[in-house]
Structure 1
């Protein structure tokens, strides 16, 4: 290549962010926090459920992982439906479904009923991340995509922080059922308010879409769904992202239990410390996304180099952390690993957006979500729980660096084709 590719040469979306852009971001971000609070509250009460229902770690891992399984299976068809039915209406409906399912979990009488409730939570949450981020990036300039993708998805981590902290605190004083009830009711309120304040027509106009358009200069006729996997680079982006998020799925699910068992922390204390570690993860996601935007402004391939660095850095921190005995040094290294573990979300989201047409961004992010969940977020807690039953939770954590190293290798392979695929996509937009 003779020189850097100008990603703004044929920019899609508005030329600048408006006040309404930030309103849309804030409300959609708030619902994402509710989404992940509903998902994470279970992990905060693992010790109570384990004692009350005599559950194994494998069963606890299944209760956590079933949400990601449902998200992985349903995110693509539900995102396609949202692209056609209306993204704003779809987001509101999803919020109502996961909130009602969380209330159902509050009334569960046994493992089987809780499993059904958790599966329904996954049904409601299935397409929220992909559709929500498609709404957000459509009302902002292209140059902010990695930052916004990272900041938006960090809402999931902040939701996990609140889910663990609030869930653990409420469960310690009022029981685990009250924790589910509180979070379910909060989601219901947001789900009702969202379509009142975010209007489909105004979002489309801000994105530069006409009433009958499906997206920018690309229509469904000129942007077939095969564009989702048309390039080598976008396929590798899906795979690398999923592999890296294996650890990002396992750690949030099992950290409260790890702190309870290995450090002797009470339920509320374990939840609070786990929440701080999850806060490091959310902060890292945003910082890593901003760094990606800044360093790759004129050199798009730097997104890949940074993604490789995040993967290898995570693996190194986890390897050293779980070779140490419980203590301050171990917690510090776990915090460093949590800071880096989701750092690939921003650059990967930006790369997928840049490699696919605007008309099918909802479907593109659905495909990314599918890979993230079926490769990483679902098997992470499930397989870690199964290993924990055999060798103990701390020993099971020692296997987490392996998928991170594999992710780094996948991103390294992506370097050979990314610029050529990006240039080809840019020419099609022109």
Structure 2
């Protein structure tokens, strides 16, 4: 954006825009957000142990507001860096705790779709953001970047208000010893049309799951867990197209995960497609460099925030590494690889396919407590699907004696949900 480059770049008569920007500035603007996300997602475990899921999301919204205000007001590169870092702190909490909360409150039958909704809304946000960027990119003053940044207030403000009307995670409350609050939260999260017997069975499973975890717990924390330039002229329009394809992919994935394929198959299919999409432009660039045609639920309930936060933070480490190194790979003044750097991402995606096949179990239709039991039993990934859980049978025994057909109640509830 010329309006951005006027403030944070330098005059460059040889550039089509009349301005340029240092590679170091590019690296820091991109990577500091990722670095901030790494720090906050890594801190998610200890934060959640004390304050819970909702306060973490409120904290993220507050940090977002401060970061946006800083970036809107400053014309100093150093202050901009700080704003990006602060935005990263907010982003790490938003990513980690929205996923954790969704996984903990969703019924087993809907958990895959509920968690997938995270990616769904991320893609909607990407489309809207890309459209806004496209139409403000031609503005020749600071409004070019101030308008997109100001848009980042909308969702956090909405989220801050919406959080007032939803309960804290019942599983988190159970682990804090607040049984009555946990039961009330679960009842608020399930529609009144769900059979009472199904609610009792779900509650009994949660209670037994917490008891089992406490009996095996040794500590809470890290130790217990182990016991863009590539030849595209219309860059902003390309980002809209890319976000739209992502949106389509998420919708297709939600249908497949619900009706056809399981999590494991979806991951393998997605990684294969990603690898091929990176391999094709890399090969095309190798054959004809610089040509225009060549660039075209799993974790313990007690440790969920620790594990999800740590996993997210490791993802941010690699994302930061990619953001930091990519300008060197692409820029003509450095390695000048162009699209050939797609070989790196193609190989990494194909490695993911191998990992998913060998190590990723199928979790479709399992409650979080059942998953805890299966992992505790050290069941091999390929045997996950057929494993019979005892915790469900025990929970059934806990609620029997009410003179009802529990199987019928569960079937009815599953159809409603």
Q: TM-score, normalised by structure 2?
A: 0.66
Give the drift of 1:206.
3.9
How far is the alpha carbon of 1:165 from its aligned partner? Answer: 2.2
Name the counterpart of 1:217. Answer: 208
User: What's the counterpart of residue 335 of structure 2?
Assistant: 391
Rg larger for: 2
Secondary structure at the counterpart of residue 141 of structure 1: coil
Structural RMSD (CA): 3.7
In structure 1, how many angstroms separate the alpha carbons of the residues matched to 2:145 and 2:295?
32
- SS class of match (1:143): coil
Secondary structure at 1:221 match in 2: helix
- Pairing 1:103-118 to 2, within 5 Å after superposition: 103-118=69-84
Decide whether aligned partners of structure 1 residues 107 and 142 sit closer, same or farther in structure 2, where only a CA change above 3 A counts: same
Shift of 1:178: 1.8
- Correspondences of 1:8-407 after superposition (within 5 Å): 49-51=8-10, 54-173=20-139, 175=142, 176-187=144-155, 189-200=157-168, 203-206=185-188, 216-219=207-210, 221-222=214-215, 224=217, 225=220, 228-230=225-227, 254=228, 257-258=229-230, 262-265=231-234, 270-296=235-261, 303-324=263-284, 331=296, 353=297, 355-375=298-318, 377-389=319-331, 390-392=334-336, 393-407=338-352
Rounded Cα–Cα distance in structure 2 between residues aligned with 1:178 and 1:142: 42
TM-score (norm 1): 0.64
| RCO comparison, higher one (Cα < 8 Å, 6+) | 1
- Following superposition, the deviation at residue 81 of structure 1 comes to 1.7
- What per-residue deviation string (whole Å, max 9, x for no partner) do you get for residues 285-325 of structure 1? 342243134335xxxxx533442232122211221134347
Deviations 1:125-157 (A, max 9, x none): 222222112222333211222222222123223
Query: What is the rounded CA distance, in whole Å, between the counterparts of 1:227 and 1:286 in structure 2?
Result: 36
The residue matched to 1:151 in structure 2 has which SS?
helix
Could you tell me how far apart the structure 2 residues matched to 1:98 and 1:90 are? 12
Gaps in structure 1 of 5+ consecutive residues: 1-41, 231-253, 297-301, 332-352
| 1:330 positional shift | 5.1
Question: 1:287/1:188 Cα in 2 relative to 1: closer, same or farther (>3 Å)?
Answer: closer
Deviations 1:218-245 (A, max 9, x none): 3362464566445xxxxxxxxxxxxxxx
Q: How far apart, in 1, do the equivalents of 2:360 and 2:47 lie?
A: 33
**Residue 327 (structure 1) shift:** 5.8
- State the alpha-carbon separation in 2 of the partners of residues 103 and 68 from structure 1: 19
Count of matched residue positions in the alignment of Structure 1 and Structure 2: 327
Q: Which structure 2 segments of 5+ residues have no match? A: 12-18, 169-180, 191-198, 286-290, 362-379, 395-417
